[in-house]
């Protein structure tokens, strides 16, 4: 028994071209009836069909074995290309990840501000562990985030170590251990809080500004 193969564009169950190869039918494929006592197995998701015939010559078999091998290589090549496209798409998605660059104040204090939109919030969440002071600016009740809040931080000697306008609702800073006075201003409202920074004990403060 020999097997017929085709790799042409044809409607389901109607191969337009067939040729011979000598491979046994694979389990799990659908048999498609055809005239002259031939049966075809359709490969799901492809244009490849394998048909069985009772009488073919050795020469035909040899020719078709070569064609079957070529068709198999074409299918493998398509699979490799599909994987390459998938990997490229994944790389492009990874490249879209938002990166927020830390800043350094004239006093040498490192800080970072962001949190506008989901991507920035995710980026800030990742960076959060690297900072021992974490400030959040929001509306009371609704929790709506606020940006462009003026922030000043003074140490125990009343020296300003940070004086910025936070572009995002989240502001993280790396402070040396000690006592600090932190003032935040928004829409004419000013709030002042005190905090003590200790090694290994990050502090978080939330400033809530009501609508006028």
| pLDDT tens profile 85-111 | 555 555 444 446 788 999 999 999 999
Name the residue with higher pLDDT: 113 or 22: 113
The CATH number that applies at residue 176 is: 2.60.40.10
Name the residue range of residue 110's domain: 103-208
Same domain, 126 and 193: yes
Same domain, 113 and 204: yes
- Dihedral of the CA atoms 14, 16, 22, 27 (nearest 10)? -30
List the beta bridge partners of residue 193.
182
How many C-beta atoms lie closer than 10 Å to residue 154's C-beta?
18
pLDDT at 212: 81
Best CA proximity match to 21, nearest among 90, 84, 68: 68
- How many domains, the chain? 2
- The residue-averaged pLDDT of 146-167 equals 97
Secondary structure percentages of the chain, helix, strand, coil, to 5: 25, 40, 35
Q: Tens of pLDDT along 101-152? A: 999 999 999 999 999 999 999 999 999 999 999 999 999 999 999 999 999 9
Name the residue with higher pLDDT: 83 or 94: 83
Final residue before a domain boundary, out of 95, 130, 159: 95
pLDDT at 71: 52
N residues, the chain = 212
Q: What is the mean pLDDT of the chain?
A: 74
């Amino acid at each position: 028994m020999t097997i017929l193969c085709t790799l042409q564009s044809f409607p389901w169950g109607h191969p337009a071209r067939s040729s011979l190869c000598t491979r046994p039918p694979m389990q799990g494929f659908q048999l498609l009836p055809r005239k002259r006592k031939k049966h075809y197995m359709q490969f799901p998701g492809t244009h490849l069909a394998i048909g069985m015939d009772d009488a073919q010559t050795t020469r035909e078999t040899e020719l078709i074995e070569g064609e079957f091998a070529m068709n198999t290589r074409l299918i493998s090549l398509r699979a490799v290309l599909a994987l390459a496209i998938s990997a490229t798409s994944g790389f492009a998605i990874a490249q879209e990840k938002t990166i927020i660059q830390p800043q350094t104040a004239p006093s040498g204090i490192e800080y970072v501000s962001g949190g506008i939109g989901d991507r920035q919030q995710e980026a800030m969440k990742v960076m959060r562990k690297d900072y021992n002071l974490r400030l959040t600016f929001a509306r009371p009740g609704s929790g709506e985030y606020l940006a462009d809040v003026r922030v000043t931080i003074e140490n125990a000697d009343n020296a300003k170590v940070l004086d910025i306008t936070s572009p995002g609702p989240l502001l993280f800073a790396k402070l040396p251990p000690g006592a600090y006075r932190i003032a935040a201003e928004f829409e004419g409202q000013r709030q002042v809080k005190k905090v003590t920074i200790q090694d290994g004990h990050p502090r978080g403060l939330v400033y809530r500004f009501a609508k006028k």
